[in-house]
Amino acid sequence: MTLRDALICFNGLLQRELLRFVQQRSRFFSALVRPLLWLVVFASGFRAALGIAIIAPYETYITYEVYIVPGLCAMIILFNGMQSSLSMVYDREMGSMRVLLVSPMPRPFLLLSKLLATSLISLLQVYGFLVIAWFWGVEAPLWGYLTALPAFLLVAMMLSAIGLFISAKIKQLENFAGVMNFVIFPMFFLSSALYPLWKMREASEWLYWICAWNPFSHGVELIRFALYQQVNSTALSIVIIVTLVASIVAVRGFQPQQGMGKR
Amino acid sequence: MSIIIRNLSFSYGSLNALQDINLALQEGCFNALLGPNGAGKSTLFALLSRLYALQSGEITIAGHSIAHHPAQVMRKLGVVFQQSTLDLDLSVAQNLYYHAALHGMSKRQALPRITEELARFDLSQRLHDKVRTLNGGHRRRVEIARALLHQPEILLLDEPSVGLDPATRESLNLHIRQLCTQQHLTVLWATHLIEEVHNDDPVTILFKGRILASDTADQLCQQHQSADISTLFRSLTGTST
């Protein structure tokens, strides 16, 4: 495979994902409803109940809405990543995975390109959400929207790779409801997306440690800091390591026959 | 030989889908793979197209081992799956460009090939139509045109005529035969419909994961003293088609 072939191939994959995204505009808007409900309804209700002390990267007291926006961005990425990875294993995309897999390009390259392409598309949803959040009064520094981009992308790759690994390895999770109950919700709730970890520690020491070990927490913190033009080096290191390990394990463990049924 | 299969076996857990398959396709010919539903045809196709990993045995395609030189193999191979793999919401052109990109062809390289293949299938006017608006026969033709874009030497078609009316089925079959003659393309056409097989075609009869017979239809009928391939198929498999 030459670099030229690789670029043409990736470009083709990205364009296809983009075309599908444009075709399925209604899915784009419905995917925004979930985080907006959290922002507009849940956060408004919790604002009074939950006081947030000054914690990095924030320099002053913040409202609860401001606190949960990075977590909700990560939630959009989490849902998209899991959904696309699941469809890769179970061939839900009208057989498009078969077309992909008969390409002469190396399979790890094809799988990682597909993960990257779907990750880039999910960034469009994240920025769509951030625009609405901005109108709702939740603003990050202007440059923060740009510095957060690599963080979004890295977290998207991490979650897609974890999703591909889980979908390939755990047969029982062959539908999205299973993934939602056993992967997405635990990952999301046992993280720093909705509440700072010190708050969790006040409630339960062992819950705190689960949250602290959850890679999703580090993804959320990476995004949170990046939105405020800062680098959380611990979160960055963990996200990079988990992305690499999950990608290698997921690609090695990928077996297309798992989702294609018996004939 | 374009495809050589040696001692190939494959199982889904305890269920043996293919057992000790040995087969060599004739180059530049329409090779028919005949078998009832559940015979193992699709499993064989999945192994030939690398969708499934080999468990035991070996496959050589166009002189390259599928296990050791997959990239070289896939460049020589065009595949049409039994179930449609076109994206219904995208146009014919978008589907074809996607396939071309996966084979390292830029849009500029792909366009003349797309134009040529669609013209061959009389579909030039449908280039920008959504696949959803095409009838079953046209969708199949687009899939075959797509499989030929990168100019493979071998074309695998897994029950390509399923769901088509008899006239469309016949014209598709004829068309593929013309490709064999004109372009020296080696074709493996899996089917359970015996009327799609001609007397001089090399035929392999697959049943319950085993090859029961393999030769030209004429030769097989002579060897087994059968009136025609349909009678032979029924007597070998105990099924009707």
**Residue A260's pLDDT is what?**
52
Q: Say if CB B223 and CB B217 are below 8 A apart.
A: no
Say whether residue A16 is in contact with chain B using an 8 A CB cutoff: yes
Residue A262 domain-assigned (yes or no): no
Residue A208 domain-assigned (yes or no): yes
Residue of A nearest to B94 (CA): A16
Q: Taking CB atoms and an 8 Å limit, are A13 and B105 in contact across chains?
A: no
Q: What is the DSSP string of B135-166?
A: -HHHHHHHHHHHHHTT--SEEEEESTTTT--H
User: Which residues on chain A are in Cβ contact (under 8 Å) with B97?
Assistant: 12, 15
**Residue A183's pLDDT is what?**
84
Closest to A19 (Cβ–Cβ): which among B75, B83, B94? B94
**Residue A258's pLDDT is what?**
60
Among residues B102, B147, B220, B55, the alpha carbon closest in space to that of A16 is found at: B102
Burial state string for A179-208 with b = 16 or more CB within 10 A and e = fewer than 16: bbeebbeebbebbbbbbebebbeeeeeeeb
**A174 compared with B102, residue with greater pLDDT:** B102
Average pLDDT over residues A87-116: 83
**The pair of three-digit structure tokens given for residue A64, joined into one six-digit string:** 């609860």
Q: Is the pLDDT of residue A262 over 50?
A: no
**Residue B125's pLDDT is what?**
92
Q: Say if CB A202 and CB A127 are below 8 A apart.
A: no
Q: Is the pLDDT of residue A256 over 80?
A: no
Partnered with residue B187 across adjacent β-strands are B30, B155
**Residue A63's pLDDT is what?**
82
Q: Is the pLDDT of residue A56 over 70?
A: yes
Q: Taking CB atoms and an 8 Å limit, are A263 and B70 in contact across chains?
A: no
User: Which residues on chain A are in Cβ contact (under 8 Å) with B86?
Assistant: 94-95
Q: What is the DSSP string of chain B?
A: --EEEEEEEEEETTEEEEEEEEEEPPTTSEEEEE--TTSSHHHHHHHHTTSS--SEEEEEETTEETTT-HHHHHHHEEEE-SS--S-TTSBHHHHHHHHHHHTT--HHHHHHHHHHHHHHTT-GGGTTSBGGGS-HHHHHHHHHHHHHTT--SEEEEESTTTT--HHHHHHHHHHHHHHHHHH--EEEEEES-GGG--TTSEEEEEETTEEEEEEEHHHHHHHTT-SSHHHHHHHHHS---
Q: Taking CB atoms and an 8 Å limit, are B77 and A102 in contact across chains?
A: yes
**Residue A15's pLDDT is what?**
93
Q: Is the pLDDT of residue A261 over 60?
A: no
Q: Is the pLDDT of residue A27 over 80?
A: no
Identify the residue among B47, B75, B102, B131 best suited for mutation to test binding to A, counting A beta carbons within 10 A and taking the highest.
Answer: B102
**Residue A172's pLDDT is what?**
62
Counting residues of chain A whose pLDDT is more than 70, the rounded percentage is 90
Q: Taking CB atoms and an 8 Å limit, are A20 and B87 in contact across chains?
A: yes
**A254 compared with B219, residue with greater pLDDT:** B219
Q: Is the pLDDT of residue B194 over 60?
A: yes
User: Which residues on chain A are in Cβ contact (under 8 Å) with B145?
Assistant: none
**Residue B65's pLDDT is what?**
94
**Residue B240's pLDDT is what?**
59
User: Which residues on chain B are in Cβ contact (under 8 Å) with A257?
Assistant: 46, 51-53
Q: Taking CB atoms and an 8 Å limit, are A263 and B17 in contact across chains?
A: yes
Average pLDDT over residues A54-64: 78
Give the distance from residue B26's alpha carbon to the nearest chain A alpha carbon, in angstroms.
Answer: 23
Q: Taking CB atoms and an 8 Å limit, are A15 and B101 in contact across chains?
A: yes
**Residue B13's pLDDT is what?**
85
Residues B169, B160: Cα–Cα separation, whole Å: 9
Say whether residue A92 is in contact with chain B using an 8 A CB cutoff: no
Closest to B71 (Cβ–Cβ): which among A100, A104, A260? A104
**The pair of three-digit structure tokens given for residue A53, joined into one six-digit string:** 């002390």
**Number of domains present in the structure of chain A:** 1
Q: Is the dihedral of CA A161, A164, A169, A173 positive or negative?
A: positive
Residues B151, B77: Cα–Cα separation, whole Å: 8
- DSSP H helices, chain A, are 3-23, 25-37, 43-49, 64-90, 96-101, 107-135, 142-169, 176-179, 185-189, 197-203, 205-213, 215-227, 233-253
Tell me which of A151-160, A241-250, B134-143, B162-171 is least confident.
Answer: B162-171
Residue A64 domain-assigned (yes or no): yes
Q: Taking CB atoms and an 8 Å limit, are A11 and B101 in contact across chains?
A: yes
Full set of structural domains in chain B with CATH: 3-237 (3.40.50.300)
Average pLDDT over residues A189-201: 87
Q: Which domain holds residue A215?
A: 3-256
Give the distance from residue A153's alpha carbon to the nearest chain B alpha carbon, in angstroms.
Answer: 23
pLDDT band at A71; cut points 50, 70, 90: very high
Q: Say if CB B107 and CB A17 are below 8 A apart.
A: no
Residues B228, B71: Cα–Cα separation, whole Å: 41
**Residue B23's pLDDT is what?**
93
| Residue where the block lists tokens 């008899």 | B166
Residue A261 domain-assigned (yes or no): no
Residue A263 domain-assigned (yes or no): no
For chain B, the maximum distance between any two Cα atoms, rounded to a whole number of angstroms, is 55
Counting residues of chain B whose pLDDT is more than 70, the rounded percentage is 99
Which residues of B sit within 8 Å Cβ distance of A? Answer: 12, 15, 17, 38, 40-43, 46, 49-53, 70-75, 77, 79, 81, 83-90, 94, 97-106
Instruction: Spell out the residues 6+ positions from residue A185 whose beta carbon is closer than 8 angstroms to its own.
Output: none
Identify the residue among A10, A18, A102 best suited for mutation to test binding to B, counting B beta carbons within 10 A and taking the highest.
Answer: A102
Closest to A257 (Cβ–Cβ): which among B46, B75, B99? B46
Q: Say if CB B108 and CB A142 are below 8 A apart.
A: no
Per-residue pLDDT reduced to its tens digit, B145-158: 999 999 999 999 99
Q: DSSP code of A52?
A: -
- Measured between its terminal Cα atoms, the distance across chain B in Å is 30
Residue of B nearest to A17 (CA): B98
Residue of B nearest to A262 (CA): B12
